[in-house]
Amino acid sequence: MNAIARKPLATSEVRRIVHRTRGSSHGAITRLVSPGDLGEILKPFVFVDLFDTTKVAFGGFGLHPHSGIATVTYLFEGDSRYEDTSGATGTISTGSVEWFKAAHGAWHGGGPGTKPTRGFQLWIALPPDQELGEIESIYQSPESVAKAGPARVLVGTYDGATSPLRAPGSMNYLAVHLRAGETWTYQAPADHSIAWVALASGRVHATESLDAGELAIFEPGGAPIEFVAETDAEFVLGSAAPHRHDLVLGRYSVHTSPASLRAGERRILDIRDQLRRDGRL
């Protein structure tokens, strides 16, 4: 549904907010969700990071490992460098998407480009049949990202638009731009009892007013979620069927069992040793 100016739905007709947070900030990065807190509620969405280098300098991350997860990086503004041990390297630009599926284990890193950046990195827990599979590294230019009205479909399918990225389950992840006064309604698929929103800029009303830097979780149910832009606003929205597996955590990894965690960590160490032999660590 496209954004339009119209009378908002009654509060009883939409999904309500049941939790909201500003997370924990460390320099340019704000961690809104992690597996030890809201990630247990929102899984398969286990980490949500908001980054903003427009006001705080950020030197980037050197190569570091992950396994058992996939990351989706989206920029509302600026550009950023990336690389990983699949051989992929490049620059993410405004409106583009970087998909990195660490699966059985890989290393990646990144740093500032030529312009300050604002955006999100989402981490998705993988199911047992994918957590030790092959890695994927995919870059989507802004022109290739599927669109539906004010929404860019980063993962999943919405309003006839489908992302080419292969989601590891039933989920949607959208980036939305609204102008002040516009109203936009999101109807999640019937099995998506998990739903949340995080604001990059501006302010919206979704049964409550939400400001830039906040993440809000919606109640389960089949009702739509309605957003009324109180100012120009940019946000990401995730919805999904629940990830019905344990979160077994390592220092750099999220898996569904101790055995798969051990396998992922062994692979990470093997890659580390090779990086050292190559003089990259």
Give pLDDT, residue 9: 61
Cα distance between residue 155 and residue 173, in whole Å: 5
Main-chain phi, psi angles of 221, to 5 degrees:
140, 175
Closest among 152, 212, 146, 200 to 176, alpha carbons compared:
152
Q: What is the mean predicted confidence (pLDDT) over 21-47?
A: 96
Mean predicted lDDT score pLDDT of the chain: 93
Cα distance between residue 86 and residue 48, in whole Å: 24
Give pLDDT, residue 4: 54
Cα torsion through 50, 53, 57, 63, rounded to 10: 60
Residue 57 has pLDDT above 90, yes or no: no
Residue 244 has pLDDT above 50, yes or no: yes
Tokens of 252: 């750099």
Q: Is residue 30 a part of any domain in this protein?
A: yes
Question: Which CATH number belongs to the domain containing residue 31 in this structure?
Answer: 2.60.120.10
Cα end-to-end distance, the chain, whole Å: 48
pLDDT digits (tens, 9 = 90+) for 126-135: 999 999 999 9
Rounded to 5°, the CA angle 146-151-157 comes to 55
Expressed as residue numbers, the domain containing 134 is 11-277
Give pLDDT, residue 114: 84
Q: Are 131 and 123 in contact (CB under 8 A)?
A: no
Give pLDDT, residue 111: 80
pLDDT digits (tens, 9 = 90+) for 161-216: 999 999 999 999 999 999 999 999 999 999 999 999 999 999 999 999 999 999 99
Classified as helix, coil or strand, 20 is strand
Tokens of 26: 């460390």
Residues 112, 203, 32, 184: is their CA dihedral positive or negative? Answer: negative
pLDDT digits (tens, 9 = 90+) for 208-242: 999 999 999 999 999 999 999 999 999 999 999 99
Main-chain phi, psi angles of 50, to 5 degrees:
-100, 125
Residue 1 has pLDDT above 80, yes or no: no
Classified as helix, coil or strand, 58 is coil
Q: What percent of the chain has pLDDT over 90?
A: 85
Q: How many domains does the chain have?
A: 1
Q: How many CB atoms lie within 10 A of CB 12?
A: 8
Length of the chain: 281
Instruction: Tell me the whole-structure pTM to 2 decimals.
Output: 0.94
Q: Is residue 231 a part of any domain in this protein?
A: yes
Region for 87 from its dihedrals, namely left if φ exceeds 0, alpha if ψ lies in -120 to 50, beta otherwise: left
Residue 270 has pLDDT above 60, yes or no: yes
Q: Are 20 and 215 in contact (CB under 8 A)?
A: yes
Give pLDDT, residue 11: 59
pLDDT digits (tens, 9 = 90+) for 84-112: 999 899 999 999 999 999 999 999 998 87
CA distances from 80 to 112, 114, 170 (A): 5, 8, 29
